[in-house]
Structure 1
Amino acid sequence: MNIHIIGGGNLGVAIALGFAHFTKGNQITVTRRNVASIKHLEAKGIIVSYDNTLNIQQADLILLTIKPYQMDAVLNEILPYISNKMIASAVSGVSMETLEQKTNAAHSIVRIMPNIAAQFAESATCISFSEKNKVAGEKVVELFNHLGTAIVIEEKLMDAATVLGACGTAYALRYIRAAMQAGIEIGFDAPTALAIASQTVKGAAKMALDEKVHPEQLIDRVTTPQGCTIVGLNEMEHQGFSSALIRGIKTSLQKIKE
């Protein structure tokens, strides 16, 4: 496919690198006004430009990874050059209905919410599309399944998906950082503590994804009567571990809806 990504920030670059590395035969174009900051992508065979319309007429899929306030300016720039395109929007807070109105219902609109782990084919990408755009939606799902998992959700949950799947990357990394710091305190050097904490999280996630059971069932396999795991878990709960995480996620969602 010819994939045209408008918005060469962290997310757009991560998606471009994921497609370049984990899928074959795609022509990928990434645009950003400050094109110098994404010049390194050229070494991966990715075309970069400050011009949002470069190669856009040949694009099979246009990905919007821009800020909400940039939407109108970008659409005004590109719409005269395109017709009957698949447009996948990762723009927070902009509904499919709004995007269809802004594009005069002349294109197939899909909403997506990947995360920056797309670069390593480990994104949890949430995707929404209407019945009339089902063909385009299924193509986008197939494409993003190469970059991790692609989960179809109702559009009303897209803001929640942004928090759980995209912001969630930062939350998981904050746990790893804390575990690393604790590892240093109990005797490991920083690189070793980071390696252990990171691999442990990766292993736990792999278990949850493969076995598809409630996390408590997996936790039970690690805890033993009067063991060190259960006392550690109980102390974390006494200190508000789960409630703090839940409150953080809900606070992030409130911010999106403001």
Structure 2
Amino acid sequence: MKIGFIGLGNMGGSLARLVAQDDRYRDGMLLANRSQEKAEKLAAEAGGQPASNAQVFAQADMVFLGVKPAQYAALLADYETVLKERESLLLISMAAGLPLATLEKLTPKQHRWIRIMPNTPVAVGEGVITYALSELAGQADEDLLLEMLSAAGLLIKLEEKQLDAATALAGCGPAFVYLFMEALADAGVQTGLARETAQQLAVQTLLGTAKLAQASQQHPAQLKDQVCSPGGSTIAGVASLESHAFRGTVIQAVQAAYQRTQELGKK
């Protein structure tokens, strides 16, 4: 089975490395990128072979498309002839905001589509991939996707109308978490800690907190209350955050990301 990748940026490259971990798929990987050097480097590191876009569309049974949403129409139009000649391909889109109905109009009707939205922690096996299937994509296609990307972390099937919301929360969320992580470390430096120490403390605090929330299955409010002693340091900090609309600001950030994701799908 040949697995093609077109676009080897942060997401496309991470998914290619995940797929390459499985001996069954590694040798059949076709890697295409605007920069041939990047494709050659990834092939040397992870496996597979560099290829052109034309070779991917002509030879692969399954194609991951890691290009920007605005580039889909032109890319698929360029290879319309070869796509018309091929039997049904499984095409995987990771374009934010681009709905299945639009994707299906860009290719001959025999091809199947799956929309996925991974986040960057898939690179270390702790990510989230949400996905939705087109009408032509069947259970075998879904099983193949889950098998191929199982090492990514958590995979969640959603109704397509929920994907933009999931993109705003889980897809954009790491950037918001990194801002918080940086702010915690900066605060540590401000209060006298060395930068390296402050960074280590911030990273491990976030990591441990997430693992505890996952393991305990308790509501975040309950876990917060366990740290807040009456009249103590933590509740003083929580009160300060609340006075500056911390939760409201986070909600607004996700809402802004959601609205932008929907705008991208209309361009």
SS at match of 1:33: coil
Sort the Cα spacing of 1:6 and 1:167 in 2 relative to 1 into closer, same or farther, 3 A: same
SS at match of 1:4: strand
Q: For the residues of structure 2 that align with 1:104 and 1:217, how far apart are their CA atoms?
A: 52
Equivalent pairs counted in the alignment come to 257
Q: Which residue of 1 aligns with 2:213?
A: 208
Q: CA deviation at 1:71?
A: 0.8
SS at match of 1:151: strand
Q: For the residues of structure 2 that align with 1:3 and 1:213, how far apart are their CA atoms?
A: 40
Q: Which residue of 1 aligns with 2:95?
A: 91
Q: Which residue of 2 aligns with 1:25?
A: 24
Q: CA deviation at 1:147?
A: 0.6
Structure 2: which amino acid aligns with 1:19?
V
SS at match of 2:91: strand
Which structure 1 residue ranges, 4+ long, deviate > 4 Å from structure 2?
A: 55-58
Alignment of 1:8-157 (within 5 A): 8-21=8-21, 23-27=22-26, 28-47=29-48, 49=50, 51-79=52-80, 80=82, 82-130=86-134, 132-135=136-139, 136-157=141-162
Q: For the residues of structure 1 that align with 2:183 and 2:65, how far apart are their CA atoms?
A: 34
Q: What are the Cα deviations for residues 59-94 of structure 1, in whole angstroms up to 9, with x where unaligned?
A: 342111111221122223445154212111111222
Sort the Cα spacing of 1:177 and 1:156 in 2 relative to 1 into closer, same or farther, 3 A: same
SS at match of 2:115: strand
Q: What are the Cα deviations for residues 169-219 of structure 1, in whole angstroms up to 9, with x where unaligned?
A: 111111111111111112221122111111111111112223333211221
Q: CA deviation at 1:38?
A: 4.5
Q: Identity rate of aligned residues, in percent?
A: 31
Answer with 95-104 or 121-130: which moved more: 95-104
Q: For the residues of structure 2 that align with 1:143 and 1:219, how far apart are their CA atoms?
A: 37
Structure 2: which amino acid aligns with 1:212?
Q
The match for 2:167 among 159, 162, 165 is: 162
Q: Which residue of 1 aligns with 2:242?
A: 237
Q: For the residues of structure 2 that align with 1:139 and 1:210, how far apart are their CA atoms?
A: 28
Structure 2: which amino acid aligns with 1:40?
K
Quick check: 2:30–2:51 contact (8 Å CA) kept in 1?
no
SS at match of 2:15: helix
Q: Which residue of 1 aligns with 2:6?
A: 6
Q: For the residues of structure 2 that align with 1:163 and 1:26, how far apart are their CA atoms?
A: 31
Q: Which residue of 1 aligns with 2:189?
A: 184
Q: CA deviation at 1:50?
A: 6.0
Sort the Cα spacing of 1:20 and 1:185 in 2 relative to 1 into closer, same or farther, 3 A: farther
Unmatched runs of 5 consecutive residues or more in structure 2: none
Quick check: 2:111–2:136 contact (8 Å CA) kept in 1?
no
Q: For the residues of structure 2 that align with 1:29 and 1:190, how far apart are their CA atoms?
A: 43
Sort the Cα spacing of 1:18 and 1:189 in 2 relative to 1 into closer, same or farther, 3 A: farther
Q: For the residues of structure 2 that align with 1:55 and 1:256, how far apart are their CA atoms?
A: 28
TM-score scaled to structure 1, two decimals?
0.90
Q: CA deviation at 1:24?
A: 3.7
Q: What value does the CA root-mean-square deviation take over the aligned residues?
A: 2.1
